[in-house]
Amino acid sequence: MKLIVGLGNSGDKYLYNRHNVGFMLVDKLAEKLGVKWEDSSKFKAKIAKKDDFILIKPMDFMNNSGEPVSLVMNFYKMLPNELTVVHDDIDLDFEDVKKQLASGSAGHKGVESIISSLGTKEFWRVRVGVGRPVNAQSVESFVLSNFSEEELGVIKKLDISNLFD
């Protein structure tokens, strides 16, 4: 069983934010698997299932992602290494993708929340480069800003499905 979590913030105003790249990519994965999202108040998330895959998008703010992840993992009796978290990363160049196991949060609040809720960092992360702030723009304001149309086109072409074979 594999749990794939896309990190983002729920709500239309965040839809194309850099911080929502995790949502965007698991949406694309759900489409490729041919599964539909269902609202789950039990898990505080949108959830989609197919065969050995469970996809979720926590429906709280990014900083509270750990609780829904923990609820799903406990319900399905999953081990930490069966979890992959897909999220934005300003320390990677735009559109670069890196999968790694058991790394720290590097200051990412959503990842910190998951580490705190699970009590471990022994899970997979798919880090997606969203670029870095320029000038004096804060990191928070940068990740909560929308991708440009050109950037969004590039992001929509990214395919992470090969990372889960």
Compute the distance between CA of residue 79 and CA of residue 93 in angstroms, rounded to an integer. 31
Q: Are 9 and 59 in contact (CB under 8 A)?
A: no
pLDDT at 136: 83
Q: How far is CA 31 from CA 24, 35, 49, 124, in A?
A: 11, 6, 12, 22
Enumerate helices (H) and strands (E) in the chain, giving the number of each. Answer: 5, 7
- Arithmetic mean of pLDDT, 13-27: 96
Compute the distance between CA of residue 125 and CA of residue 101 in angstroms, rounded to an integer. 6
DSSP letter at 101 equals E
Per-residue pLDDT of 29-60, as tens digits, reads 999 999 999 999 999 999 999 999 999 999 98
Q: How far is CA 99 from CA 84, 141, 148, 163, in A?
A: 9, 25, 25, 8
Compute the distance between CA of residue 165 and CA of residue 156 in angstroms, rounded to an integer. 20
Residue type, 114: I
The answer on pLDDT for 165 being more than 80 is no
pLDDT at 164: 84
CA dihedral 76, 125, 119, 140 (to 10 degrees): -120
Per-residue pLDDT of 124-150, as tens digits, reads 999 999 999 888 889 999 999 999 999
pLDDT at 61: 86
What is the enclosing helix (H) or strand (E) of 57?
Answer: strand 53-58
Considering Cα of 148, then 151, then 155, then 157, what sign does the dihedral take?
positive
Active-site positions read: 19
The answer on pLDDT for 84 being more than 90 is yes
Superfamily grouping for domain 2-99+109-164? Peptidyl-tRNA hydrolase (3.40.50.1470)
The domain ranges of the chain are: 2-99+109-164
